Amino acid sequence: MTENRTHLATRILLKALFPVMKVVVADDPKMTNRFEGISTRVRFTVAGDGGPWGTDVVFEDGVLSVDGAMEGAPEVSFRFKSPEAFNAFMAGKPVIPGIRGWRHPVLIGKMVSLLLAMKILMPDARPKQEEKQRMKVKMIIYMITTALSQYNKGGDPEMSRWTGKQPDRIYQMSVDGEEIAAYVRVKAGKTKAGRGMYTRRRPFVHICFNGVQGALPVLMGDVEFVEALGRQLVTVEGSPEYAANLNDYMQRIQALIV
C-alpha cells in the first residue's frame, strides 16, 4: 500500500534521519561531552490520520541509539499534532512541539541543542571546518541509504517497480580515503540498508566519491551527477544506468523531506 507523500516524508525522517543523530553525538566533541555519562530515553511522537508514528532516542552511558518500537518509559517527550507539523519542524520551520517532562529541563535543553545540530544536513548549511564537512558527508550517506530503503517500503510506485524486477543486488556508496560507507540491498522488491562495506559479494553498483571534497558538491546538489562523473568527483563501478536511477531517487527523497 502506498503511503501519501506527507506520511512517506514522516516515515523517512523518523527512520532515516533520527538514526544519524548518533553521528553527531559520536563525532562532534561538544556533543560527546554534552551527553557524556547520560542514560535516558526521549520520545518523539506524531499524531494524525494513519498514526500515531514515533521513535525513541535512547542514551546508554552517553551512547545514542534509536528504538522505533518505543519500548520503555521516556523521561521527556516531544509531541507533534500532525505529520505536517513534524515534517515542517524537521525542515527547520518555526513549529513548536508539545513537550512533556519539564522536571528534566537540562535534558530538554540538551535535546534541543542536538536537534539544532541536525541543521548541518540542510542544503544551505555549508560548514567550512574539515571535521564538520566530513561529518556532513557521513551523515548524508548514512541517511540517504536508509531513506532509499524506507522510500521503497513506503510504497512509492516507481521505486516499487524498479526494485521489484531486480534479483539480489548490492548498491554500495563510499568515500575514498575515509571510513565512510553504506549500502542498500535490493532483492525482489524488498530493500535493506546497512552501514560499512558489504563484503559477502561484489556490489552491483559502487558509487565512490573522491574524498570528502568530491562528495560535498554532489551530495549537496551543486553538481549534476553526470558532470560529477566527468570531473572525477565520483566514480561508478558497475551499471551506470542503475547508478543514475539510484541518484534520481536520492534527489526525489531530498525534495520530499526538505
Report the CATH number at residue 111.
Answer: 3.30.1050
**Are both 18 and 98 inside the same structural domain?**
yes
User: What's 200's domain CATH number?
Assistant: 3.30.1050.10
What percentage of the chain has pLDDT greater than the value 70? Answer: 99
For residue 20, the enclosing domain spans 5-121
Query: Would you state the pLDDT for residue 62?
Result: 98
How many domains does the chain fold into?
A: 2
Q: Given this model, what pLDDT does residue 52 score? A: 83
Which residue type does 245 have? N
Residue 50 confidence (pLDDT) above 90: no
**89 and 180 fall within a common domain:** no
Q: Which of 150, 181, 138, 167 lies closest to 239, judged by CA?
A: 167
CA atoms within 13 A of residue 68's CA, in its CB half-sphere: 10
The residue from 94, 121, 148 where one domain ends is: 121
Look at residue 144 and tell me whether its pLDDT is greater than 70.
yes
Mean pLDDT of 133-162: 97
- The residues, ordered by sequence, that sit 6+ positions from 39 with a Cβ below 8 Å of its Cβ are 59, 60, 61, 62
Q: Are both 249 and 137 inside the same structural domain?
A: yes
**Mean pLDDT throughout 209-232?**
95
What distance in Å separates the CA atoms of residue 236 and residue 172, rounded to the nearest whole number? 10
pLDDT at residue 2 greater than cutoff 60: no
164-179 residue pLDDT tens? 999 999 999 999 999 9
Region 17-25 average pLDDT: 98
CA distance linking residue 165 with residue 167, whole number of Å: 7
pLDDT average, residue stretch 58-87: 97
Q: Is the pLDDT of residue 93 over 60?
A: yes
Mean pLDDT of the chain: 95
Percent of the chain with pLDDT over 90: 93
